[in-house]
Amino acid sequence: MRVLGIETSCDETGIAVYDEEQGLLSHALYSQVKLHADYGGVVPELASRDHVRKIVPLIREALAKADTRIEDLDGIAYTKGPGLIGALLVGACVGRSLAFAWNKPAVGVHHMEGHLLAPMLEEDAPEFPFVALLVSGGHSMLVKVEGIGRYEVLGESIDDAAGEAFDKTAKLMGLDYPGGPRLAKLAAKGEMAGYKFPRPMTDRPGLDFSFSGLKTYAANTIAAEPDDEQTRANIARAFEEAVVDTMVIKCRRALEQTGFKRLVIAGGVSANTRLRSSLAELMQSRGGKVFYPRGEFCTDNGAMIAYAGLQRLKAGEREPLAVKGQPRWPLDTLEAIS
């Protein structure tokens, strides 16, 4: 089976072709970072318009790179949700319309399931079951995964997600959008200079996350300290270590609760090197292993949607002709695949 994947949930247009036997044949990605940089964040209407401009040329590019004709495709997968409704509808309308015109089956994919399964694109792919830490600009959650669609959300953000906290704190420091990666780069220059940020919600039972208070603590620290490069780097490091330590503590609890020996991290924040190294140390100490996708598949991309869509199409799932986007869509409501 060969599937065309379309991702348009937020500010990146991702297209890919995935073959069940040959693996990933091509992927094309257009990022809207420059478009939104002047506004300090994603402007939904501008994002939707840019998806309209880029989606068809990228589909042509991905098909050409994969040396794939229309008749070679066995289905089309597109991100149905969660995400920005306008952006979702661009991908859904194009994907469902092409499927109808080309007489191919279509399936709407859950964006976070795409992230969760992104490590399956690698040669060293994890086997089920495992605990998944999904961390991005809009989501932070721990999931017990026993198979595709067999998900139990163990904990999630009750306010700001980790990526959102990174971006907002970076903005407080005067860093350009997107702030998360820039803050991490600044933190690499930081020193342990007496700053001790709280590890939110780790002094109580449970696996939920809360980063809004940590962001406020960072804001107060920034306002009270000198505005020089080294001081900002030191604060950035203290903030990053607080976020990473919090996630490591929660992951340890989730692994103890489930008894699993495998941990998957995915989503944009999973590219953070301090987080990766800390979780690798955690799993080594527990005799387990951590898995994550390569950097280009940590952020939103069409490859993860094509892979997840292929699994759903193989299981017989089909999207009706009515085009629908789901800006809110709980992960644990998905159908299990045997």
Show binding-site residues for substrate: 134-138, 167, 180, 272
Whether residue 177 contacts residue 37, with contact meaning beta carbons closer than 8 Å, is answered with yes
**DSSP H helices in 18-123:** 33-37, 44-65, 85-102, 111-117
**Which residues are annotated binding-site positions?**
111, 115, 134-138, 167, 180, 272, 300
Contacts of 57 (CB under 8 A, 6+ apart): none
Cβ partners under 8 Å of residue 101, min gap 6? none
* Residue ranges of E strands in the chain: 2-7, 12-19, 23-31, 75-81, 106-110, 130-135, 140-147, 150-156, 262-266, 289-291
Distance CA 159, CA 136 (A): 13
Q: How many CB atoms lie within 10 A of CB 295?
A: 9
The Cα-based distances of 35 to 60, 172, 200 in angstroms read 23, 21, 34
User: Distance between CA 15 and CA 81 in Å, rounded?
Assistant: 16
Q: Residues forming the annotated binding site for Fe cation?
A: 111, 115, 300
* Rounded distance between C-alpha atoms, residue 277 and residue 204, angstroms: 25
Instruction: Single out the residue of 206, 158, 157, 143 nearest to residue 332, CA to CA.
Output: 143
DSSP conformational letter for 1: -
- Residue 303 gets which letter from DSSP? H
